[in-house]
Structure 1
């Protein structure tokens, strides 16, 4: 199947028109007319992912985070990480397609996946984007049964298959209403508090942003950029398999199961 047709299936789920103005989704590397027989879905186009793609005979990598820098390439230094990555992709004729903020915003995208893993009900859009009320960044909803914020945090660790989350206890002890934004969404803390959320879930939280949550009376869970977004790999792979099966295509879709969070928790001796 042509790369261009697979791109069309991806844009059916997450139209590029949804992407933020600064973003760079779509075809990153390759020829739209290239024949594709095997796809690898991942979060990041990293060195281990590219090595896996080469070993498995992959023709197309579909990632969430774009491989091309947002500000554009000024040079390609093959002695450096990014340049070496591009050299490998081009030399092995491996194409790359990325669906980033458009997949965050899209119905069935990253934030809906995270809301499902959090067990939220009556889920709605959180922050309107692009001046419209129909498309939203993040989601907001309700837990089925009230739990303490600590209990919720422990369950979230299991749901996201992560060893830990960071909890800011700035709000009520019991959780009813939850807002979330996968990846990095600390800029929406005020909106979460304004909408009456007891808890806000995101990643990449800084100290003063945590302090802001306490001042505004809302709990915050920083579950990490990786953990809140990596579940999209499985979901996007399943979507592609279904779409390809519907058109009777024999293109194979595999998932990255090896990547891990860049951050590791090192505990002091005796703990």
Structure 2
């Protein structure tokens, strides 16, 4: 059986973390090589360093999906003897494609920030820094009696009808549908050339715009008619907020010292830098993967007892301290949680295909700092 194509794999991946979610100016997508090739093995990596590429070569990897882009700033020349040159040369010579999912993976539901929050036991999370809003559509479908519950359930399972903490939300009203089956049709109800009056129900539900294609395909697949009738309307309603970081609560409050130890253990880091601003017990936690310096005020305004992020600057620490916000910096490398997280999610999304590739997580550490 022919292996899956790199293009198909990335299309499935982007149903979870579409490039459209990335913040403006971020470098995401294809970095090196081509997606127009068969892929037997995918490796998930945090960074693309030469040691990571050597690992990919040793393990016969065809595609690396990385969190941090290998090409973040434009390069004016490519010297294969220094800097990123040897990395790119090895990828090309060994036919290894590199794809980057950066802030789109940070923002995606179930992405890096949700993985970090889950690792820390932070529950009932909300977006910390909104970057966009997902538009909503109203789907109206006309379904013959006897099939209403089947269609209603299928639409909800496909992602329609989510309002706040409620799922499968619909409204139904009764009516009569009319149609004349034409020549060459095989009608579920009625006969060719004769007007049919069908007892139907009008089912209404809301659909996030990115799921419209999936939900309407589900409707067509489960509906008994050859040509189901349905309408889509734009809604002037506030859609789901998406963005960077998460804020939520611990099940039990703890001291800052105890929480710092909890962070070290949960994220498997040898040390953390801690900024003490007060002696409050820690209950509400804001977390943002990577460099979160410019977003500390969001955590402060949201009422966080502590802000967990990487690469905290000296003067930012002073500013937050003066505003009464405790901070913990486990380092940028805490995002390594994405390797296993993305591996599991991608395996799940590709598992329905018999020619799905093997997905592995890189075992190479790219942490540049050491404790001395």
> Do these two structures clear the TM 0.5 threshold for a shared fold by scoring above it?
yes
Following TM superposition, by how much is the alpha carbon of 1:173 offset from its aligned partner in structure 2, in angstroms?
A: 3.1
- 2:365 is aligned with 1:263: no
More displaced 10-residue stretch of structure 1: 57-66 or 172-181:
172-181
Q: Which of 87, 90, 106 lines up with 2:89 in the alignment?
A: 87
Give unmatched runs, 5+ long, in structure 1. 267-271
Following TM superposition, by how much is the alpha carbon of 1:131 offset from its aligned partner in structure 2, in angstroms?
A: 7.1
The CA deviation string for residues 102-132 of structure 1, in whole angstroms up to 9 with x for no partner, is 0001100000000001111111111111477
Q: What is the CA–CA distance in structure 1 between the aligned matches of 2:270 and 2:303, rounded to whole Å?
A: 29
After TM superposition, the structure 1 = structure 2 runs for residues 179-198 of structure 1, keeping only pairs within 5 Å, are 179-198=286-305
Which position in structure 1 is the counterpart of 2:179? none
Which position in structure 2 is the counterpart of 1:74? 76
Which position in structure 2 is the counterpart of 1:101? 103
SS in structure 2 at match of 1:181: strand
More displaced 10-residue stretch of structure 1: 211-220 or 239-248:
239-248
Decide which structure has the larger Cα Rg and report it: 2
The CA deviation string for residues 135-174 of structure 1, in whole angstroms up to 9 with x for no partner, is 1110000110011111011011011111111110113331
Q: What is the CA–CA distance in structure 2 between the aligned matches of 1:63 and 1:219, rounded to whole Å?
A: 31
Q: Which of 251, 254, 260 lines up with 2:357 in the alignment?
A: 251
Q: What is the CA–CA distance in structure 1 between the aligned matches of 2:319 and 2:20, rounded to whole Å?
A: 33
Which position in structure 1 is the counterpart of 2:125? 123
The alignment covers a number of residue pairs equal to 264
SS in structure 1 at match of 2:290: coil
TM-score by length of 2: 0.69
After TM superposition, the structure 1 = structure 2 runs for residues 173-184 of structure 1, keeping only pairs within 5 Å, are 173-184=280-291
Which position in structure 2 is the counterpart of 1:237? 343
Asked if the contact 1:171/1:199 (under 8 Å) is kept, the reply is no
Q: What is the CA–CA distance in structure 2 between the aligned matches of 1:141 and 1:250, rounded to whole Å?
A: 36
The CA deviation string for residues 52-80 of structure 1, in whole angstroms up to 9 with x for no partner, is 111111111110001113x3221111111
Q: What is the CA–CA distance in structure 2 between the aligned matches of 1:13 and 1:177, rounded to whole Å?
A: 28
SS in structure 2 at match of 1:80: coil
Asked if the contact 2:130/2:241 (under 8 Å) is kept, the reply is yes
Following TM superposition, by how much is the alpha carbon of 1:260 offset from its aligned partner in structure 2, in angstroms?
A: 3.8
SS in structure 2 at match of 1:129: strand
Which position in structure 1 is the counterpart of 2:114? 112
Q: What is the CA–CA distance in structure 1 between the aligned matches of 2:339 and 2:296, rounded to whole Å?
A: 26
More displaced 10-residue stretch of structure 1: 131-140 or 157-166:
131-140
Q: Which of 262, 268, 272 lines up with 1:155 in the alignment?
A: 262
Which position in structure 1 is the counterpart of 2:330? 223
Which position in structure 1 is the counterpart of 2:194? none
Asked if the contact 2:133/2:241 (under 8 Å) is kept, the reply is no
Q: What is the CA–CA distance in structure 2 between the aligned matches of 1:249 and 1:34, rounded to whole Å?
A: 14
Asked if the contact 1:7/1:26 (under 8 Å) is kept, the reply is no
Q: What is the CA–CA distance in structure 1 between the aligned matches of 2:321 and 2:247, rounded to whole Å?
A: 20
Which position in structure 1 is the counterpart of 2:49? 46
Following TM superposition, by how much is the alpha carbon of 1:32 offset from its aligned partner in structure 2, in angstroms?
A: 2.3
Name the one with the larger strand percent: 2
Asked if the contact 1:147/1:174 (under 8 Å) is kept, the reply is yes
Asked if the contact 1:172/1:198 (under 8 Å) is kept, the reply is no
Which position in structure 2 is the counterpart of 1:168? 275
SS in structure 1 at match of 2:291: coil
Asked if the contact 1:171/1:198 (under 8 Å) is kept, the reply is no
